[in-house]
Chains A and B, each alone.
Chain A
Amino acid sequence: MDSVVGSLNKTLISLFSEISLDVSLLFLVAVIIPGIVIFLIMTVNAIVAVYMERKVSAFMQDRLGPMEVGIFGFKGGKKFWGGIGQTIADAIKLLVKEDIIPKDANKFLMVLAPFIIFIGAFVTFIGVPFSNGLVISDFNIGILYVIAMSSVGVIGIILAGWASNNKWSLYGAMRAAAQIISYEIPIGLSLLLIVIVVGSLEMSAIVNWQAENRWFIIHSPFALLGFLIYFISGVAETNRVPFDIPEAESELVAGWMTEYSGFRWALFFLSEYTNMLIVCIIASIVFLGGWLSPFQLFDIPGIEIPESFFVLDGFYMGMFWLLLKTVLLIFVMMWIRWTFPRLRVDQLMYLCWKVFIPFALANLVFVCIWELLF
């Protein structure tokens, strides 16, 4: 098992072998270090993604976006990266904001809810690899674990909506519950198709299969359809436009987040962008070849590819390729968000139960036939 915790533990044991330390204590340290790293990844992702979102939206709306706040005196001036410190300033503002809990709210649940959502996003990362072997723990049930954990957040959303004691929040929470739980099914079904082909739930096995054969996005028309269903459902899972019905700012004010502010709201925000990252990373790993170099795609017989291109497939370049694919998918998500209007609740449910699920099920059958034939 090639995992970070295991190798860290081994390193620590070999490092501190002279000092007689308890082995279980060392194991605890080996667990805490990745935890901190995950938290840093989440924070950095949120800061970068929010800045990116603001700049992408500004670009699409013919605006400049944030242009004023710099970091360490580096302001960027009139260049396109102006206002690079904006999200950091926003984060500080949120952290020092007054903490408001409404009088009639259920205090305990209201405080608890953001943490449940946060933990849901946090623990998902245990199974998410960032490169070949760079994963906290490469379970043999990797995909199942990631799907299961990424839907833990919905409990927090329902709690937040109920505990706020606000009608808008309640509406938002009910919508979120219906939406997120429904869209779990097409996500599961479209990932199941890959699992059938590969014969394993392990993330590394899926990427290795793609290295030996083909990326799944060009594997068969059915896998491509599976990718589309997965990605669109993923957008719905992360509550983004055109599926931002639980928040629906023009209808429900801020949906289930209406009564939250400051630090708790920042946690919601953090988890939201983390979920976005997770959906995109999983899409890249499962359908777009994960940490494999895209040059592998051009492996057409008769055309010689210089040897140096394959150097790009190493551990660090793998990280680069995976991040590149993920950022591209995140950009597509933002592109969708700033282009489309919002669906209505019943239309959203129609799309899920009467379009995606039948198609995903049929897809599953066809991909089996395809596998038998080719």
Chain B
Amino acid sequence: MGIDNLKDTGSIKADEMVLNMGPQHPSTHGVLRLKIHTDGEIVSKIEPIIGYLHRCFEKHCENLSYEQIIPFVDRCDYLASMHMDHAYSMTVEKLLDIELPERVEYIRVIISELQRIASHLVAIGTFGLDVGAITPFTWTIRDRERVLDLFEALCGARLLYNYIWPGGVSHDLSPKFIQRTIEFLDYFDKQYDEYNELLTGNPIFVERTADVGVIPADVAVNQGVTGPSLRGSGVAYDLRKTEPYSIYEKFEFDVPVGEGKMGTVGDCWDRYSVRMLEMRESIKIIRQAMSSIPDGDVHSAMPKRIRPKKGSVYSRYESARGDVGFYIISDGKNIPLRVKMRSPAFCNLSALSEISEGWMISDVITILGSLDIVLGEIDR
């Protein structure tokens, strides 16, 4: 920008500035790089550049046995490791054709919904951070710690659990787990109202998020947006309801969708509020599962060796970020021939450039925050 640089304008448009946001930037949620073409504060074009966290997940999988892949899966979506474990294990079980004990399914549902709460807490907190409110972040992180404490008691790990294995779970529920979880849920109900008071109805927050970054339902479907971001656009599409896996059909819960309460359907506020409401639904599911959890051995269905027959399988799972899919091809060895992962955050990110054109730099941050991406999963 120095005067010397301006002399040779060449083909560069003088009124457009390319702003390089990331990979080191406080609000790109990891190592995402955004090339933003700006005209003043207005954004005319965005090019997301990914790959800074690429660790060859799919290639690694071709050299590892089925069990050894689970820790790698953990590291894809590190904010919802349990979901990734669950999604992967479900796929392998489908390949092996394993019937799971009831107790394992119940444990998995409880853990997954706790993980959904933990992940949404981070999403909401960082979204608040993106629009400039710092306090909600510390509050949500504080309450997420409680969930992590539960997980720590369960399997010893706080972030990358390696807990859900094909055919079972690594440990049975720890003693007092159910009691502690119920205590947490009672505590969380009160905190939930506090978040609403602090952020949801805050006039400045509404001003910043309502009507901003609207994803119309058809655009969302065309771009392959899934999860809370899709439901924020008013599409009631939740795999737990539409294609129930595990034992989700046993529980009663609603699928919250964006209604455009504060602005247009599909704006940032709707995506935020869908996440808030989903935590409520998760609490409902956990309470139901807690009250009817059967006894049993969690290791009984676990295969000694995983050596599936030749063939391929695809299964889908509703993670905190959307529709996670694993496609596994087996050639009869103990190592998969190919593992392909459908990353929800990757598809959600693809909508970013389309919806944030014409908005301001501040709004790009807001929209990015409302999509709730995790770079570990996008880059794999």
Cα distance, A104 to B1, chains bound together (Å): 9
**A250-B26, A253-B26 in contact; A345/B362 too (CB < 8 A)?**
yes
Is the CB–CB distance between B27 and A251 below 8 Å?
A: yes
* Interface window among A13-21, A240-248, A301-309: A240-248
Residues of A220-267 contacting chain B, CB below 8 A: 241-242, 244-245, 248-253
By size class, the interface of chain A is 20 to 34
Residues of B130-166 contacting chain A, CB below 8 A: 130-135, 138-139, 142
**Contacting residue for B2 out of A165, A248, A340, A347, CB 8 A:** A165
Q: Mark A76-117, 1 if CB is under 8 A from B, else 0.
A: 000000000000000000000000000010100000000000
Instruction: Say whether A54 faces chain B, with CB atoms less than 8 Å apart.
Output: no
Q: Which B residues lie within 8 Å of A22 (CB)?
A: none
**A251-B365, A340-B202 in contact; A62/B142 too (CB < 8 A)?**
yes
In the complex, how many angstroms separate the beta carbon of A347 from the nearest chain B beta carbon? 6
Q: Which A residues lie within 8 Å of B41 (CB)?
A: 171, 345-346
Cα distance, A347 to B26, chains bound together (Å): 23
In the complex, how many angstroms separate the beta carbon of A261 from the nearest chain B beta carbon? 16
Is the CB–CB distance between B129 and A250 below 8 Å?
A: yes
**A167-B1, A250-B26 in contact; A344/B363 too (CB < 8 A)?**
yes
Most chain B CB neighbours (cut-off 10 Å) among A60, A171, A253, A342 = A342
Q: Mark A168-203, 1 if CB is under 8 A from B, else 0.
A: 001100000000000000000000000000000000
Query: Smallest CB-CB separation from A63: which chain B residue?
Result: B138
In the complex, how many angstroms separate the beta carbon of A191 from the nearest chain B beta carbon? 26
Is the CB–CB distance between B27 and A345 below 8 Å?
A: no
Is the CB–CB distance between A341 and B133 below 8 Å?
A: yes
Instruction: Say whether A145 faces chain B, with CB atoms less than 8 Å apart.
Output: no
Is the CB–CB distance between A251 and B133 below 8 Å?
A: no
Cα distance, A63 to B361, chains bound together (Å): 31
Instruction: Say whether B97 faces chain A, with CB atoms less than 8 Å apart.
Output: no
**A339-B198, A343-B207 in contact; A248/B132 too (CB < 8 A)?**
yes
Is the CB–CB distance between A338 and B362 below 8 Å?
A: no
Instruction: Say whether B17 faces chain A, with CB atoms less than 8 Å apart.
Output: yes
Instruction: Say whether B253 faces chain A, with CB atoms less than 8 Å apart.
Output: no
By size class, the interface of chain B is 20 to 34
Is the CB–CB distance between A62 and B139 below 8 Å?
A: yes
Instruction: Say whether A61 faces chain B, with CB atoms less than 8 Å apart.
Output: yes
Cα distance, A248 to B1, chains bound together (Å): 22
Q: Which A residues lie within 8 Å of B205 (CB)?
A: 341
Residues of A317-374 contacting chain B, CB below 8 A: 338-347
**A167-B19, A345-B41, A347-B207 in contact; A338/B135 too (CB < 8 A)?**
yes
Most chain B CB neighbours (cut-off 10 Å) among A244, A341, A343 = A341
Cα distance, A60 to B198, chains bound together (Å): 11
Query: Smallest CB-CB separation from B198: which chain A residue?
Result: A339
Q: Which A residues lie within 8 Å of B204 (CB)?
A: 242, 340-343
Instruction: Say whether B360 faces chain A, with CB atoms less than 8 Å apart.
Output: yes
Is the CB–CB distance between B1 and A346 below 8 Å?
A: no
Is the CB–CB distance between A346 and B138 below 8 Å?
A: no
Is the CB–CB distance between B17 and A338 below 8 Å?
A: no
Q: Which A residues lie within 8 Å of B26 (CB)?
A: 249-250, 253
Is the CB–CB distance between A241 and B132 below 8 Å?
A: yes
Is the CB–CB distance between B207 and A345 below 8 Å?
A: no
Is the CB–CB distance between A341 and B202 below 8 Å?
A: yes
Q: Mark B93-116, 1 if CB is under 8 A from A, else 0.
A: 000000000000000000000000
Cα distance, A106 to B19, chains bound together (Å): 20
Instruction: Say whether B128 faces chain A, with CB atoms less than 8 Å apart.
Output: yes
**A62-B139, A341-B208, A345-B41 in contact; A250/B365 too (CB < 8 A)?**
yes
In the complex, how many angstroms separate the beta carbon of A298 from the nearest chain B beta carbon? 34
Cα distance, A171 to B204, chains bound together (Å): 22
Instruction: Say whether B25 faces chain A, with CB atoms less than 8 Å apart.
Output: yes
Cα distance, A347 to B206, chains bound together (Å): 12
Cα distance, A63 to B137, chains bound together (Å): 12
Query: Smallest CB-CB separation from B41: which chain A residue?
Result: A345
Is the CB–CB distance between A342 and B361 below 8 Å?
A: no
In the complex, how many angstroms separate the beta carbon of B251 from the nearest chain A beta carbon? 32
Q: Which A residues lie within 8 Å of B135 (CB)?
A: 57, 60-61, 338-339
Is the CB–CB distance between B132 and A341 below 8 Å?
A: yes
Is the CB–CB distance between B27 and A344 below 8 Å?
A: no
Is the CB–CB distance between B139 and A61 below 8 Å?
A: yes
Cα distance, A61 to B26, chains bound together (Å): 20
In the complex, how many angstroms separate the beta carbon of A65 from the nearest chain B beta carbon? 11
In the complex, how many angstroms separate the beta carbon of A56 from the nearest chain B beta carbon? 11
Q: Mark B27-38, 1 if CB is under 8 A from A, else 0.
A: 100000000000
Cα distance, A171 to B365, chains bound together (Å): 15
**A167-B1, A251-B362, A253-B25 in contact; A343/B133 too (CB < 8 A)?**
no
Q: Which B residues lie within 8 Å of A60 (CB)?
A: 135
Is the CB–CB distance between B361 and A171 below 8 Å?
A: yes
Q: Which B residues lie within 8 Å of A341 (CB)?
A: 128, 131-133, 199, 202, 204-205, 208
Q: Which A residues lie within 8 Å of B199 (CB)?
A: 341
Residues of B14-55 contacting chain A, CB below 8 A: 17, 19-20, 25-27, 41
Cα distance, A177 to B333, chains bound together (Å): 67
Residues of B337-375 contacting chain A, CB below 8 A: 360-363, 365
CB-defined A-B contacts under 8 Å, sample of 17: A57-B134, A57-B135, A61-B139, A62-B139, A62-B142, A170-B1, A241-B132, A249-B26, A250-B26, A338-B135, A339-B133, A340-B133, A341-B128, A341-B133, A341-B202, A342-B131, A345-B41
Q: Told that A167-B1, A342-B208 touch, could you supply 18 new A-B pairs with CB distance under 8 A?
A: A57-B135, A62-B142, A104-B2, A106-B2, A167-B19, A250-B27, A250-B129, A250-B365, A251-B361, A251-B365, A338-B135, A339-B135, A341-B128, A341-B131, A341-B132, A342-B131, A342-B362, A344-B360
A-B pairs, top 7 by smallest CB distance, nearest first, are: A342-B132, A61-B138, A341-B133, A341-B131, A250-B27, A341-B132, A344-B362
Residues of A near any B CB (own CB < 8 A): 57, 60-63, 104, 106, 165, 167, 170-171, 241-242, 244-245, 248-253, 338-347
Residues of B near any A CB (own CB < 8 A): 1-2, 17, 19-20, 25-27, 41, 128-135, 138-139, 142, 198-199, 202, 204-205, 207-208, 360-363, 365
